[in-house]
Amino acid sequence: MPDSTVKEPVATQTAATPLNKQETGPEVYFRKGFGLKSEVQAELASDYSGRLVDLLREREFRLESGGTTVRLAREFGFCYGVERAVDYAYQTRRKFPDRKVFLAGEIIHNPHVNTKLRDMGVEILQIGPDGIDYSGVGSDDVVILPAFGVTIKDFETLRAIGCVMVDTTCGSVLNVWKRVESYAKGGFTSLIHGKYYHEETRATASQATKWGAHYFVVRNMEEAKVVCDFIEGRLDAAELMSRFSHAASPGFDPDRDLKRIGVANQTTMLARESLAIGVEIGQAMARAHGEEYAKENFRTFDTICSATQERQDAVIELLEQPLDVMVVIGGYNSSNTISLAALCAERVRTYHIEDASAIDPVAGTIRFRPPGAKEDSIESGWLSLDRPVEVGLTAGASTPNNKIGDTVARIFATRGIEAQAIL
């Protein structure tokens, strides 16, 4: 089958945005901040910078003392989209000191950042089964839209309220929206590689329903192959929908809606799996209907964000080192962090921790979330004390540098080495 995988160009800041200033008025919708970056920069640096991370950069991402070596992946932590979202949230609080400021769900998937925003007086609106409840938001209030984006229904609700909206949606997410909207215009169903309950996937799926089109969400290759079974006639529509009714658009009819397919993805998924799913679906369509049919009725584009790809590539490079263990830092609900941990676990003993507090140097324990688990585990003696050790380290795109630095300090402390010894 001809290669229909194309690298998507970077979206402009307003591409695929359901609202713009002309629709809502110049004082209602903001996407480019308020020109207050210099005023909040010191506060941001105080809250999130890390001296040990700076030192790791200065020393080629490697610190060694007392037979303990910590190697940090060369791409890690806050990406541009996250930095921008957090920066705009701080600017918003500064711009509107006397107004009620709400956040439509978490700004990013990091508990410390969200707690800090709460401490600044930002109220986080929780996402329920029916979406976000905006009943407490008034026309004089301010609502920050998170880096993941929000659904078209959310936009319409907020526009009707008439409140100020500060849109921090990541440009990489907008890039996917643009592609999904083009699928919808062309009569293609968007098959989305993602987590159906994730904020970004919910927002992307809503874009797919424009022009009367549909969406279908698959979590992984295993689920994608079930779709292939339907396409190739090994599974009927009723069986498919009994398994995926929660992950498909309302009124989805597999016999009708899987005739033309465009593959997209949640930007933080495992890149190689997203690309492989596109290939698998395309090949299934070619086998079922012929090469010419697939050429006309199947599309796939590489819409994994560059920061996600760079962090995954950096981890793969780090894993070439002779590591004893790997520590991955980030929220347990952070999709990109989960993907990093999964990559690492294929090659070395890996611990996904939410922050440095998971490491207890005195007790010699680590509290972590095993791959695929929903509860934490605690392990004693996770770091050998009687021989030299090499520890690999990386962090998800929503993990600030200070939390990475704290983790480095606790790793050394577990081996009886004080931070001053490595400064």
Give the SS3 label for residue 234.
coil
Q: What would the two tokens of residue 322 be?
A: 């002779």
Taking phi over 0 as left and psi of -120 to 50 as alpha, with beta for the rest, 256 belongs to alpha
Pairing relationship of beta strands 359-360 and 365-368 according to DSSP bridges: antiparallel
Give the SS3 label for residue 393.
strand
Whose tokens are 């480019």? That residue is 32
Distance (Å, rounded) from C-alpha 36 to C-alpha 296?
49
The alpha carbon dihedral of 38, 43, 47, 51 has a sign of positive
**Residue tagged active-site, from 75, 199, 200, 390:** 200
Which long-range CB contacts under 8 A does 257-260 form with residues at least 24 apart?
A: 257/189, 257/214, 257/216, 258/189, 258/216, 258/227, 258/230, 258/231, 259/297, 260/186, 260/187, 260/188, 260/189, 260/297, 260/298
Report the Cα 253 to chain-centroid distance in Å.
29
Distance (Å, rounded) from C-alpha 27 to C-alpha 96?
12
Q: Is 23 a catalytic residue?
A: no
DSSP string, 32-48: S--S-HHHHHHHHHHHH
Q: What would the two tokens of residue 392 be?
A: 């690999």
> Among all residues, which ones are annotated catalytic?
200
